[in-house]
Amino acid sequence: MTAAIELRGVVKHYGETRALGGIDLTVDAGRIFGFLGPNGAGKTTAIRILLDLIRPDEGSAFVMGFNCQRESVQVRKRVGYLAGDLRLYEGMRGNEFLNYIDSFRPEKKDATYRDALCERLGLDPTKRIRALSKGNRQKLGVVQALMHRPEVLILDEPTSGLDPLVQDEVVRLLEEAVSEGRTVFFSSHVLPEVERISQSVAFIRQGELIAVEDVAALKSRNVHVLEVTFSAPPPPSLFALPGLKELHRDGSTVRVQAQDGVDAVIKACATQTVIDLRTEQPSLEDVFLAYYTGDGPTGAHDERREARRASA
Amino acid sequence: MQARSIFTKALFDQKMQILGFGLTLAVIAAMDVYIWPSYRDTLQNFEIPPAFEALLGGDLNLATAPGFLSAEFYSWIPILLLVYAVIQGTGAIAGEESGGTMDLVLAQPVTRRSFVLQRIAATILASVLIIAIGYTGWLVSVPFVDIDVTLWDVFLANVNLLPITLLFFALSLAAGAIAPTRGMAVAVTVGIATATFFMQTLAATVDVLEPLRYLSPFYYYGNGQPLVDGLNWAHVALLTGISCGLAIVAVRTFEERDVSVGGASDLTLAAMLRRTFATRTGT
C-alpha cells in the first residue's frame, strides 16, 4: 500500500516555542485517518507544513510521494484543504468564491457535484459570505475542499461549528471519498468524533506523537477500568501487576486501569476483603489515555469523570 | 463580473478605488485648468518667497501655465497616488495574511511567486487606468481654455506619475512581505514617503542638505515640474529599476518565509508591549 501522507522527523519551532518535536507519521492511501490531540498540540502546524504554508526546521513531508516543500504545487494539485481557522472573502457570494477556487483547477471543475454538495449540506451559495453564519461558512469551506474530488483531503477540524445533522452528512461525504479510494486526513480535539469516523488515529500532544493506532484494534483491546473498595488499605501486590495503572486512590478505594484483561487484577484484589467492585467499558478515550504517563491530562480526565458521576 | 484568477480578482476588488482615485485626479485637473485665466493676471506681479516656492516643487514660475499646473497639481498628486499605492502594496501580501485568506489561496496549486506577480500585474494595470481616467480631466478642459499647455505635454506629465506610484507600491509590497503585520508595513512605507518628500523640498532650499535630494524618489519624479522640464527618461528608468528591485525583494522574502494567519504573529503591538513591560518589571 502506498503512503498518501508521510512525515519524516519533522521539527518546527516558533521562536523559542517548539511546536513539533520530530514527528514521524505515515498515512496509508484510501483510509480515514484521524489526527487527535488537545488544542495547541501541533495538529495545525503539521497540516500547514503539508501544504507548504510553513516550512519545517528539520525533516521532510510528502503527499502522494511528492515533497511538500520542493514540489508543493504537485502536492496542492492533489489536495483539498480546509483550514482550521477558516477565513473567507467577506464581500463575495458563495458561488463567486467557489468559482474563484475552481479557477485554480479548471480541468477538475464539476458543477454538478459542487451543487450536489451544497444541497446535501443545506448551503445557499447565492448569499454573500458576510451574511453567512459560522456554520454556513464552515459548509462553504467543506464544499471548496471536496468539490474537485481531490486524491487527499486534509481537513483541520472539519466539523467545527456544524450542527450534529450536518456533521453526520460531512462524515458520510468523507466515507464516500474513502470508498472511491481517496484519502482523508483530518484533525480533531474531540475524541468520540475520531472514534466514530476514522479507521486509524494518531495521537499528538505537546508536539510529540504519542501513538498511532488502528481504531478497530484499539477498541478490541482488553482495557478495563475498575474501581475497588477494600476493607483495609489495598494490597501492594495489586499495583505491582504489569499493565496496571493507578488512576486514583482515596483511602481504601482505588481506581485502576487494566490493559491486559481483568483476571490478574481480580485475583490480586481477592487476596484482601473486597467491599465493592465496579467496572466500566472503557471508551477510546480511556484506551488512549493509557498511553499517558500519570500527569496532568489523566488526572484532569479523572476529575471530569468524577464530576460527571457526581452530577448524574 | 467574476474573478477567474488572482489577477482578475485583484483587479475587480479595486474597481471602486480605480474609479475614485481616477475621477478625483480628473476633477482636480479640470478645476485647475478652468481657474487658470482668473489667476493669471494676479500672479503676474506676485513675488513668491523662494522657500515657499521650493515647497511647491522648485524654481517654478507661477505666472506661466506649466509652472502653475506643476505647483497646483503635479507637485502633490503623487501623495494622493501614494495612498492608493500603500493600500494595494500592503494589501497584496500583508493584508491577505492579516485577513487570514492567504491560507485559502496558497492551498491551491499556485506558487507564491505567481500569486505576487499577478497582484503586481493587477496593480500596474489599475494604476494605468487611474491615470488614464485622470487624463480625461485635461481632455475636457485644456481645449476649451486659453492656457499655454498642450494635451501632449500633459499626457507626458501624466505618464510621469506612473513610476513614482509604482515605486511606492513596490516599497509597500516589500514592507508587507517583511513586516509581520499590515499596520507595520503601512507605517514604514508612509514614514519613508513622508521623510523623502520633505527631504527633497528642504534640500532644494537649504544648501547643506542639497546632496540629500538625490536620495529622494521625489527628486527623480522630476521635482514636481515635468510640465516645465519635460519627461526625463533616465529618471523614469531609475525609478522603474528600483521598483523592480523592491518587487524582487518582496517575492523572494515571501517565498522563503512562513505564511502567517490573521493575528497569529507574536510581533503584534500588544505582544511587544507585553514583552517590554515584562522586561521592565523583571518578571
In the predicted structure, residue B2 carries a pLDDT above the cut 70: no
Cell output for B133:
481616467
Kindly state whether A48 is in contact with chain B, defined as any CB-CB distance less than 8 angstroms.
yes
Kindly state whether A96 is in contact with chain B, defined as any CB-CB distance less than 8 angstroms.
yes
Mutation choice for A interface testing from B15, B101, B108, B253 by most A CBs within 10 A: B108
Q: Is the dihedral of CA B157, B160, B162, B165 positive or negative?
A: negative
d(CA B191, CA B188): 5
- SS3 track for chain A: CCEEEEEEEEEEEECCEEEEEEEEEEEECCCEEEEECCCCCCHHHHHHHHCCCCCCCEEEEEECCEECCCCHHHHHHCEEEECCCCCCCCCCEHHHHHHHHHCCCHHHCCHHHHHHHHHHHCCCCCCEHHHCCHHHHHHHHHHHHHCCCCCEEEEECCCCCCCHHHHHHHHHHHHHHHHCCCEEEEEECCHHHHHHHCCEEEEEECCEEEEEEEHHHHHHCCCEEEEEEECCCCCHHHHCCCCEEEEEEECCEEEEEECCCCHHHHHHHCCCCEEEEEEECCCHHHHHHCCCCCCHHHHHHHHHHHHHHHHC
- Domain boundaries of chain A, sorted by first residue: 5-218, 221-311
Asked whether residue B159 is domain-assigned, the answer is yes
Judging contacts by C-beta atoms under 8 Å, the chain A residues touching residue B13 are 91
d(CA A261, CA A244): 10
Segments of chain B assigned E as strands: none
- Alpha-carbon distance A267 to nearest alpha carbon in chain B (angstroms): 54
Judging contacts by C-beta atoms under 8 Å, the chain A residues touching residue B108 are 76, 101, 104-105
**8 A C-beta contact, residue B197 and residue B218:** yes
- Alpha-carbon distance A44 to nearest alpha carbon in chain B (angstroms): 11
- Alpha-carbon distance A262 to nearest alpha carbon in chain B (angstroms): 48
Kindly state whether A289 is in contact with chain B, defined as any CB-CB distance less than 8 angstroms.
no
Count how many residues are written for chain A.
Answer: 312
The torsion of the CA quartet B184, B188, B191, B195, rounded to 10 degrees, works out to 170
What pLDDT is stored for residue A16 in this prediction? 85
Judging contacts by C-beta atoms under 8 Å, the chain A residues touching residue B261 are 83, 85, 87
Kindly state whether A79 is in contact with chain B, defined as any CB-CB distance less than 8 angstroms.
yes
d(CA A10, CA A141): 27
CATH number for the domain whose boundaries are A221-311: 3.30.70
Mean of per-residue pLDDT scores for chain B = 85
Kindly state whether A134 is in contact with chain B, defined as any CB-CB distance less than 8 angstroms.
no
Q: The whole model's pTM is what?
A: 0.82
Under DSSP, the state recorded for B62 is T
ipTM of the complex: 0.82
**Region of B37 on the Ramachandran plot (φ > 0 left; ψ -120 to 50 alpha; else beta):** alpha
- Enclosing domain of residue B148: 5-277
Q: Does domain A5-218 fall into CATH 3.40.50.1000? A: no
Strands A224-230 and A208-214, by their bridges, are unpaired
Cell output for A60:
521532510
Higher model confidence: residue B204 or residue B255? Answer: B255
Count how many residues are written for chain B.
Answer: 283
- Alpha-carbon distance A96 to nearest alpha carbon in chain B (angstroms): 6
What pLDDT is stored for residue A258 in this prediction? 82
What pLDDT is stored for residue B179 in this prediction? 87
Nearest to B258 among A55, A85, A87 (CB): A55
User: Are B106 and A105 within 8 A, CB to CB?
Assistant: no
What pLDDT is stored for residue B3 in this prediction? 65
**8 A C-beta contact, residue B139 and residue B27:** no
Judging contacts by C-beta atoms under 8 Å, the chain B residues touching residue A125 are none
pLDDT in tens, B179-217: 878 899 999 999 999 999 888 878 777 777 778 888 889
Which 3 state secondary structure label does DSSP give B276? helix
User: Are A51 and B108 within 8 A, CB to CB?
Assistant: no
Cell output for B221:
519624479
d(CA B165, CA B85): 6
In the predicted structure, residue B262 carries a pLDDT above the cut 80: no
Alpha-helix runs per DSSP H in B140-232: 151-159, 161-178, 182-205, 217-220, 226-229
Total domains present in chain B: 1
Chain A: residue whose CA lies nearest to B110:
A73
In terms of Cα–Cα distance, which of A57, A66, A53, A75 is closest to A16?
A57
In the predicted structure, residue B272 carries a pLDDT above the cut 60: no
> How many C-beta atoms surround the C-beta of residue A247 within 10 A?
19
In the predicted structure, residue B50 carries a pLDDT above the cut 80: no
Asked whether residue B283 is domain-assigned, the answer is no
What pLDDT is stored for residue B279 in this prediction? 40
d(CA A173, CA A120): 9
Q: Encode chain A (312 residues) as per-residue pLDDT tens digits.
A: 579 999 999 999 988 889 999 999 999 999 999 998 888 889 999 999 999 999 999 999 999 999 999 999 999 999 999 999 899 999 999 999 999 999 999 899 999 999 999 999 999 999 999 999 999 999 999 999 999 999 999 999 999 889 999 999 999 999 999 999 999 999 988 777 888 889 999 988 889 998 888 888 776 766 778 889 999 888 888 888 887 878 888 888 998 888 777 888 888 888 889 999 988 766 666 666 665 544 333 334 444 444 444 444
Q: Is the dihedral of CA B99, B105, B111, B113 positive or negative?
A: negative
In the predicted structure, residue B280 carries a pLDDT above the cut 70: no
d(CA A6, CA A49): 11
In the predicted structure, residue B111 carries a pLDDT above the cut 70: yes
What pLDDT is stored for residue A288 in this prediction? 64
Nearest to A87 among B5, B99, B110 (CB): B99
**8 A C-beta contact, residue A172 and residue A69:** no
d(CA A121, CA A101): 19
pLDDT in tens, B207-246: 777 788 888 898 888 765 778 777 888 999 999 999 999 9
Angstrom distances, CA of residue A40 to CA of A76, A208, B5, B99, B165:
25, 12, 34, 21, 43
The angle subtended at Cα B35 by Cα B34 and Cα B40, nearest 5°, is 120
